[in-house]
Amino acid sequence: MVLPIRATTAAPLPAMAVLPPEGTIGEWDAAGAARSSQQTPQPPPPADRFYTVRKGDRLFRIARRFQVSLRALTQANQITEHSIIRPGQRLRIPSGSSKAEARQESLQSPSELVETALSYRGVPYRYAGMSSRGMDCSGLVARVLRLHGVMAPHNSRQLFKLGTPVSRAELRPGDLVFFRTRGRSISHVGIYIANGQFVHASSGGGRVQIDSLDSGYYAQRLVGARRLP
């Protein structure tokens, strides 16, 4: 006896979902077909700005004004932190500088101390002076430190008690350098710049100027250096 064969109909396989292409957004129906899609918009990179230097400007003040780091500002203009800027000079203000890095730069950073000290170059030497009309060595240092919030004494021997001692090999910009120019006690002080140079109010030169620690006179009389916190 032969049994009749019943025809069977296979159930249709469920359609496979289709994932949206990478990098697109839009609505997708149950079958995976895109109803609408568009490319993720990419914002254009910010453009650099430019600033024309005015009388009295300092690099660290310009950096702080535009919320960029001093390092980024100097690198963008291929200059150093100690470069002299002049009225009318055009500076590039970098757009990619980190604002967080700019905020981390202290208002009392060594670079700012050096910049402020260098701004007094050419001021006449005046014993016991502490103004732009005239200043002596400790007057220059005390004035610079006070402008940055440190109530420093107008006395080289008292200044030698501030901060922590550092060796000649460890000198960094902003460190104070001390000398014995007469007698056995501290009698002269300046602010270290970089590359063996320091700025000070020189009685011999008659003004605030830059000299080298390697020169015979100062090399023989250097007795120590201090770093402020």
Asked, for residue 21, whether it belongs to a domain, the answer is: no
116 vs 25, residue with greater confidence: 116
Same domain flag for 222 and 122: yes
**200 is a catalytic site residue:** yes
* pLDDT at residue 39, rounded to an integer: 61
Give, in order, the Cα–Cα distances in Å from 53 to each of 59, 90, 132, 147, 205: 9, 6, 22, 22, 30
Asked, for residue 22, whether it belongs to a domain, the answer is: no
**Pairing of the two strands 34-39 and 222-227:** unpaired
- How many other CB atoms are found less than 10 A from the CB of residue 98? 14
Are 152 and 146 in contact by the 8 Å Cβ rule? The answer is yes
pLDDT mean across residues, the chain: 81
pLDDT greater than 80 at residue 22: no
Same domain flag for 154 and 182: yes
Instruction: Write out pLDDT tens, residues 44-99.
Output: 656 778 999 998 787 877 887 888 887 888 889 998 766 778 899 999 999 865 55
Same domain flag for 189 and 207: yes
Asked, for residue 32, whether it belongs to a domain, the answer is: no
229 vs 209, residue with greater confidence: 209
Question: Looking at 105, 126, 148, which one is the last position of a domain?
Answer: 105
Among 82, 137, 148, 154, the one annotated catalytic: 137
**What is the CATH number for 89?**
3.10.350.10
Phi, psi of 178 (to 5 degrees): -125, 150
Please report the sign of the dihedral spanned by the C-alpha atoms of residue 188, residue 189, residue 190, residue 194.
Answer: positive
pLDDT greater than 60 at residue 210: yes
Among 82, 148, 154, 200, the one annotated catalytic: 200
Q: How many domains does the chain have?
A: 2
Of 121, 131, 142, the C-alpha closest to 207 is 121
Same domain flag for 121 and 57: no
**82 is a catalytic site residue:** no
**154 is a catalytic site residue:** no
Instruction: Write out pLDDT tens, residues 211-221.
Output: 999 988 999 99
Asked, for residue 190, whether it belongs to a domain, the answer is: yes
Radius of gyration of the chain (CA): 33
Give, in order, the Cα–Cα distances in Å from 188 to each of 86, 150, 182, 212, 227: 30, 19, 9, 14, 16
* pLDDT at residue 30, rounded to an integer: 46
Question: Looking at 67, 89, 105, which one is the last position of a domain?
Answer: 105
Domain with 162, as residue range(s), is 112-227
* pLDDT at residue 93, rounded to an integer: 92
pLDDT-above-70 percentage for the chain: 72
Count CA atoms within 13 Å of residue 113 on its CB side. 28
* pLDDT at residue 96, rounded to an integer: 63
Asked, for residue 34, whether it belongs to a domain, the answer is: no
Among 82, 148, 154, 188, the one annotated catalytic: 188
Instruction: Write out pLDDT tens, residues 136-161.
Output: 999 999 999 988 778 899 999 999 99
* pLDDT at residue 45, rounded to an integer: 59
Average pLDDT rounded to a whole number, residues 110-125: 89
